[in-house]
Amino acid sequence: MYMSNLYIETPTLLSEPLSLTAGKPVWLKLEALQPSGSFKLRGVSLLCQQELARGARGFVSSSGGNAGIAVAYVGRKLGVPVRVVVPETTSEVARQLIRAEGAELIVHGESWFEANAYVQESLAWDEAFIHPFDHPLLWQGHSSLIYEVVQCGIKPSVVVLSVGGGGLLCGAVEGMQRVGWHDVPVLAMETEGAESFAAARAAGRAVRLPAITSIASSLGARQVCDQALTWADQHPVISEVVSDAAALIACERLLQDHRLLVEPACGAALAAVTESSKHLQSAESILVIVCGGVTMTDVQMRQLLVD
Ligand SMILES: *Cc1c(COP(=O)(O)O)cnc(C)c1O
Q: Ligand 1 centre and the CA of 55: distance in Å?
A: 28
Q: Which CATH number fits domain 40-132: 2.60.120.260, 3.40.50.1100, 3.40.50.880, 3.40.190.10?
A: 3.40.50.1100
pLDDT computed for residue 3 by the predictor: 57
Q: Is 265 in the pocket of ligand 1 (CB under 6 A)?
A: yes
pLDDT computed for residue 89 by the predictor: 87
Dist CA 197 CA 92 (whole Å): 29
pLDDT computed for residue 186 by the predictor: 98
Q: Is 171 in the pocket of ligand 1 (CB under 6 A)?
A: no
Q: Is 250 in the pocket of ligand 1 (CB under 6 A)?
A: no
Beta bridge partners of 289: 29
Q: Among candidates 284, 200, 277, 185, which has minimal Cα distance to 238?
A: 185
Q: What are phi and psi of 64, to 5 degrees?
A: -90, 5
Q: Ligand 1 centre and the CA of 166: distance in Å?
A: 8
What does R_g of the chain's alpha carbons equal in angstroms? Answer: 18
- Which sequence spans correspond to the domains of the chain? 12-39+137-306, 40-132
pLDDT computed for residue 96 by the predictor: 95
- CB-based burial label for 275 (10 Å; 0-12, 13-18, 19+): middle
Q: Is 190 helix (H, G, I), strand (E, B) or coil?
A: strand
pLDDT computed for residue 1 by the predictor: 46
112-118 — which CB contacts under 8 Å span 24+ positions? Answer: 112/62, 112/63, 112/64, 112/87, 112/220, 114/87, 115/62, 115/64, 115/85, 115/86, 115/87, 116/62, 116/85, 118/62, 118/85
Q: Which of 66, 142, 242 to mutate for ligand 1's pocket (most ligand atoms within 8 Å of CB)?
A: 66
- CB-based burial label for 222 (10 Å; 0-12, 13-18, 19+): middle
Report the predicted TM-score, pTM, of the whole model to 2 decimal places: 0.97
Tell whether the torsion through CA atoms of 151, 157, 160 and 165 is positive or negative. positive
pLDDT computed for residue 120 by the predictor: 94
pLDDT in tens, the chain (307 residues): 445 689 999 999 999 999 999 999 999 999 999 999 999 999 999 999 999 999 999 999 999 899 999 999 999 999 999 999 999 988 899 999 999 999 999 999 988 889 999 999 999 999 999 999 999 999 999 999 999 999 999 999 999 999 999 999 999 999 999 999 999 999 999 999 999 999 999 999 999 999 999 999 999 899 999 999 999 999 999 999 999 999 999 999 999 999 999 999 999 999 999 999 999 999 999 999 999 999 899 888 988 888 8
Q: Which of 61, 71, 90, 162 to mutate for ligand 1's pocket (most ligand atoms within 8 Å of CB)?
A: 162
Dist CA 78 CA 263 (whole Å): 27
Q: How far is CA 180 from the centre of its chain?
A: 23
Q: Ligand 1 centre and the CA of 291: distance in Å?
A: 7
Q: How far is CA 93 from CA 107, 212, 294, in A?
A: 14, 20, 9
Q: Check if CATH label 3.40.50.1100 holds for domain 12-39+137-306.
A: yes
Q: Are 246 and 271 in contact (CB under 8 A)?
A: yes
Q: Is 294 in the pocket of ligand 1 (CB under 6 A)?
A: no
Tell whether the torsion through CA atoms of 141, 188, 230 and 194 is positive or negative. negative
Q: In what order do the strands lie in the sheet with 58-61?
A: 104-107, 82-86, 58-61, 127-129
End-to-end CA distance of the chain: 51
pLDDT computed for residue 132 by the predictor: 95
Dist CA 241 CA 186 (whole Å): 14
Q: Are 178 and 144 in contact (CB under 8 A)?
A: no
pLDDT computed for residue 4 by the predictor: 66
